[in-house]
Structure 1
């Protein structure tokens, strides 16, 4: 039986260089202890912010210094934990890091209420002074949310609750990454192979239908066995979101989470409404897939099977890096040189190992290069994942290099634009340089998958979140049956009459990690739509768009997301951007026909 490798069996050059944050665990321990020491000391500026602009500046500066220190502590501990989620040492360290974040949050919880209590005339004088120039934009953002701020004691209580309200996410992570086991299945060659979350996506792209079906049923059998526990965990996460929304006087959890990035709710509703108006395109795609695969019934274990079965693109990691560099060439030599540096200097953790967290992401901490986390398995999809996460990493690099710490971190809303723009450039590069008809169909099949997975599926996820959060807000209990009923109905709507709605797919909500970061996933769909527009112009050599895009990458959170995207000529408050992306999908369907 082929088992996943142990962490110690992975080659050093295929692991991220986490020692660039801390050379040793002992160095981490020293900074952790410093965080705890600082947390115990009362801030000398507490109760004094109305004295002068200088006092306010010094208080904000001290808070930022503490934030940066605990950010290093937190990121290192969790990156080590994600390497092997069963490792007890890093389970404990990540828990301690979470506690340190909470303690420092409590210490500086006075800042926002004190700032909001400053006399309006005096605050305007502060904002006009050079002393406070660094924090002017941040302060204006705080003042804009004045109606949702609480008293100092209330803010402190909410900060203290942070560690408790993070528990549903932590419980799900430990279950999904360390505890749940799916057993073994037979692969295409008849070998008994352990089924993991990482391998599941590979099996779902198999040309052997029995392999796909067995993997699908084995995976969901286990989630079904724990559906009540997983429903309670998801419901707990929704309830903590409702708690914060009610405490802060928001009308809904949706409003609260979108307000964090100053996103109008109509952006969310525009996405869902525009996709609903174009579900005929998704239904046409499902019909096409059924026809091309030549099956009497199309099941959910058929939805990832390649529609061109005589081509299998096996792309080793070294080749993937070369393809990535060629595809990203339109972004310029400066951009490429940093991507190369990332490949060669320990930014990337490449392969799956036992206990390693599933999926892929980019992360890091200010003052250290960004990192990319992969579970690379030599598929074309993995090449797209590589350029996607490098897009995040480069966004982080440019923002960190061009912004001071208070504005380096970009908002979630724009995070997916940089990553998906890279994916769009890769697809256009591959299609342009493809001369074989079968290979071109293979690539078009992958393009279909991007639209289906990123625009349609993530919008369906977004609608599921909107519905279930509203149910909880209205006092309904989110039982396993209730969640399965909502999810089944959405699949019926999105996939249409030509898709068999397997009982197992109603459980898919129970395995989606992003649902534990409420109202995050819609940004994949909006980001994808914006990225399609930006990448198309850059690929054609539009220098104005490229210049605006570099400004966008360098902007961090120094501007609101909606305004940052306008630098690239994109207006997300209009449904037009979503519609134009869906039109590209429609044209792709016509080209295949």
Structure 2
């Protein structure tokens, strides 16, 4: 493992394009700190004149942009080597400044909402440039009926920190306190079960190892079921409380309103997946036959049905494969992709202390960046396509929207990245090196559907049912939650699956449940991406240009409206239905490929 200072420069990202050097960061930090302290000069003054309101909004925009730059640069420098104390300190200071800024600017929305409607409309039509913020006002005013008196809003704001206990308890328990057993490997070696190792253990070709890891993990969660049920129930009660306080009909309506997403989107997703569960049942039947087992257990779901093709790629080869796969997006997109490849947008290889995983990030005013830990596997090739999808979405958005409207909502965040993956795998399926590679690629894509569209929808259904029961005052005991979760697993996976007792406790380890009504967006984003990629590959008239408009849109429109630019209406069941139809076609192709194997 090389140290960061020994990494080849060409394989590292050039953060100097964002902030010239650490000295420049320190100067920008001092300037931003001074301006944050002075922002309260606008407090209790917004109704003075249209110019006062406009200047306040301009300053809020400027400071938010500057603090984002400081935060992102310091964090990305720290991610290069997480043991570097200098950048740990810089990131800690940037984080503290962002908290202070949130506190100092918290008066803004309540004061706007407290203004007389006629006066605010007069200010908005003053012609002084304030019309730039029309979309901001639209979002703020949508919350007018859900805004309380100033005193009540202040009291609620003060309560937020005190009500985060359930989430904090789960986080500390799941990341710091919980300890799993050690199992025995194929050759008698010790294999510790950890959050990090569990996924690879579940993909192990040795079924005994998979079973031991599965049982070892869940026997620990089972011991703490009552505690974790209490934490989960408390988090639901907190969500229900704020929804009622803010005059929403339910906690789901409250959380979806933050992303401007109609509840029909959630209902269409669950209903459409429910109507097509026979496809998942068929998938489990195929998996059972291919693995050659008498009973398909939950610990058999993650092992590849087809052994990984023994092929590795250089980073240059990976870039060429991605470029070829994304050709349907046109020459402009490919030129931008090449610009990222050529101009050190990407931090490619692992080094000592470097953050694990992969992400795309950046700050407005500079090009986006990608962090990788590239080892040359096919998954790494897909990761490159995925993260560059995020990056070029950000590039298009940043270059076509002002800072105010450049940041796209989480509801659409996974669309561009997943669309890239869908285009890439369809390209690879056209040109496999042999039947084994084709079967492996089909297995990869089928797993994406199972893990994202089906599994996240099941999570979403469990979460919604639990919140309804919590709102109705039903006791959310460990036993009740386990029964509910088991029933969903039985219904989703069907008669070919042996639903092990241990899976009853899986809900206990899902951190996203502590961010209410988040998980459904993985499934909707995946469905939208599959629909968009299909339209582009078919060459439908206007599909590519509509997609480019979507990429350029930022948050200048509601997420649902942005996706309609691509010909995808997530308020209808059609995109989810189309994705599921494609899943059925992939099952046909996999079975045919499997039957034709040597």
TM-score of the pair, normalised by structure 1: 0.87
Which residue of the partner structure matches residue 266 of structure 2? 268
Of the candidates 124, 128, 131, which is equivalent to residue 127 of structure 1?
A: 124
1:330 is the counterpart of 2:331: no
Which residue of the partner structure matches residue 102 of structure 1? 99
After TM superposition, the structure 1 = structure 2 runs for residues 511-530 of structure 1, keeping only pairs within 5 Å, are 511-530=509-528
Q: CA deviation at 1:285?
A: 0.7
1:216 is the counterpart of 2:214: yes
Question: Are the aligned partners of 2:18 and 2:366 in contact in 1 as well (CA < 8 Å)?
Answer: yes
Shift of the 29–168 alpha-carbon distance from structure 1 to 2, 3 Å rule, reads farther
Q: CA deviation at 1:127?
A: 3.0
1:71 is the counterpart of 2:68: yes
* Cα distance in 1, alignment partners of residues 228 and 353 from structure 2: 20
1:564 is the counterpart of 2:562: yes
Q: CA deviation at 1:46?
A: 2.4
Of the candidates 99, 103, 111, which is equivalent to residue 108 of structure 2?
A: 111
Of the candidates 336, 339, 361, which is equivalent to residue 337 of structure 2?
A: 339
* Cα distance in 2, alignment partners of residues 9 and 173 from structure 1: 35
Q: Deviations over 1:191-211 (max 9, x none)?
A: 656655444433433333234
Shift of the 310–65 alpha-carbon distance from structure 1 to 2, 3 Å rule, reads closer
Question: Are the aligned partners of 2:443 and 2:590 in contact in 1 as well (CA < 8 Å)?
Answer: no
Q: Deviations over 1:310-369 (max 9, x none)?
A: 744545555433322211121123222333343454544556778876654433322233
Structure 1 gap ranges (5+): none
* Cα distance in 1, alignment partners of residues 254 and 431 from structure 2: 45
Which residue of the partner structure matches residue 306 of structure 2? 308
Of the candidates 148, 153, 160, which is equivalent to residue 150 of structure 1?
A: 148
Q: CA deviation at 1:149?
A: 2.0
Which residue of the partner structure matches residue 293 of structure 1? 291
Root mean square deviation, CA, Å: 3.5
Which residue of the partner structure matches residue 574 of structure 1? 572
Which residue of the partner structure matches residue 392 of structure 1? 390
Question: Are the aligned partners of 1:257 and 1:519 in contact in 2 as well (CA < 8 Å)?
Answer: yes
Structure with larger Rg:
2
Question: Are the aligned partners of 1:109 and 1:159 in contact in 2 as well (CA < 8 Å)?
Answer: no
* Cα distance in 2, alignment partners of residues 411 and 127 from structure 1: 25
Of the candidates 59, 64, 83, which is equivalent to residue 56 of structure 2?
A: 59
Q: CA deviation at 1:228?
A: 5.5
Q: CA deviation at 1:511?
A: 3.3
Which residue of the partner structure matches residue 487 of structure 1? 485
* Cα distance in 1, alignment partners of residues 472 and 356 from structure 2: 34
Q: Secondary structure in 2 aligned to 1:362?
A: strand
* Cα distance in 1, alignment partners of residues 402 and 561 from structure 2: 19
Question: Are the aligned partners of 2:418 and 2:529 in contact in 1 as well (CA < 8 Å)?
Answer: yes
Q: CA deviation at 1:54?
A: 1.8
Q: Select between 131-140 and 367-376 the one with higher mean Cα deviation.
A: 367-376
Q: CA deviation at 1:274?
A: 0.9
Structure 2 gap ranges (5+): 592-598
Which residue of the partner structure matches residue 45 of structure 1? 42
Question: Are the aligned partners of 1:360 and 1:373 in contact in 2 as well (CA < 8 Å)?
Answer: yes
* Cα distance in 2, alignment partners of residues 314 and 27 from structure 1: 41
Q: CA deviation at 1:276?
A: 0.7
TM-score of the pair, normalised by structure 2: 0.87
Question: Are the aligned partners of 1:278 and 1:582 in contact in 2 as well (CA < 8 Å)?
Answer: yes
